Amino acid sequence: MSNEESLLEAIRDDYGVLRVTESEGYRFLYFGEQTEQSCCFEADPAWLEYDYTRAMLLALYWQNRPQQVTLLGLGGGSLANCLLKHFQPQQVTAVELRPAVVDAGRKWLGLSEDPRLEIKIGCAEQYINESPASCDLLFVDLYMEGGISRLQLQAEFFQRCHRALRPGGLLVINQWQLGNTGNPYAGRMLEQLFGDKYLQVPVEEGNILLFIPASGQLFLEKLALRSWADDLEAQLGYSLRPYIEALRRASDAPVID
């Protein structure tokens, strides 16, 4: 937390301390002392501030109006808010381990009260194990105070996530880059599971977003993607073009020696 941020609340739960701070029209959710987990623009809680969350929205090119969206990991709720405001899903289900995160989202971070949003408190692993063929769009964004969740390094977990997709569905994974390689930590494992034709977007924050279809390959035509992004720009307030330019197949990523 910078010196310019004022502390709104500190909450201790079974997993550590959550801190909510405020600065110049933004509110921030921290896991522990230093791990900035979420950012909320107070004037518009559906605004996405981070590059990695904006890059996630590319999934909506292939799933324009999904019936069922599942989020593993709620955070401050900005992504859920954005999906509900701009993309007309029929239902968004967010699975969050920590009740205190939901409470903070509702109290401080503008978490939507939209009736289409269902929040389930519990373990993402258990939920996904019990939910085969349950969603059209699945976002996996599981991080703890110490960094990426252990689940996001386990092949069986990703297999279960893939099985949770309905035909034509899409899995979106927020991974961490392996150094500055442009490859995810679990890259070799993911290639063994899903081949090397899925799409990925590295962003400057150090994240890398993976887009894995239920079957086959995603259509990658940047001219059409740019046109789609341009149509959305006025509505969102920012352009998705930078992430489209960085979008590539995993097979085109730099080779790790």
Residue where the block lists tokens 């730099």 = 254
Strand partners, 201: 209
**Pairwise CA distance, residues 87 & 63, whole Å:** 9
Strand-pair category, 16-23 with 117-121? unpaired
Continuous H helices in 87-144: 99-108, 124-129
Prediction pTM value: 0.93
Strand partners, 69: 92, 137
Q: Give the Cβ contact number of residue 176 at 10 Å.
A: 18
Residue 34 has pLDDT above 90, yes or no: no
Residue where the block lists tokens 């007309």 = 88
Q: Give the Cβ contact number of residue 98 at 10 Å.
A: 18
Q: Give the Cβ contact number of residue 116 at 10 Å.
A: 15
Contact by Cβ (8 Å): 169, 214? yes
Classify residue 32 as exposed, middle or buried by CB count within 10 Å of its CB (0-12, 13-18, 19+): middle
Backbone angles phi, psi at 53, to 5 degrees: -75, -35
**Pairwise CA distance, residues 104 & 195, whole Å:** 39
The predicted-structure confidence for 148-188, as pLDDT tens digits, reads as follows 788 888 899 999 999 999 999 999 999 988 877 788 888 88
Element at 234 (helix H, strand E): helix 222-236
**Pairwise CA distance, residues 198 & 184, whole Å:** 13
Nearest to 252 by CA among 186, 201, 180, 185: 201
Backbone angles phi, psi at 45, to 5 degrees: -65, -10
Residue 67 has pLDDT above 50, yes or no: yes
**Pairwise CA distance, residues 245 & 250, whole Å:** 14
The predicted-structure confidence for 101-152, as pLDDT tens digits, reads as follows 999 999 999 999 999 999 999 999 999 999 999 999 999 998 876 677 888 8
Nearest to 202 by CA among 183, 220, 188: 183
pLDDT for position 199: 97
The predicted-structure confidence for 234-250, as pLDDT tens digits, reads as follows 999 999 999 999 999 99
Contact by Cβ (8 Å): 190, 162? no
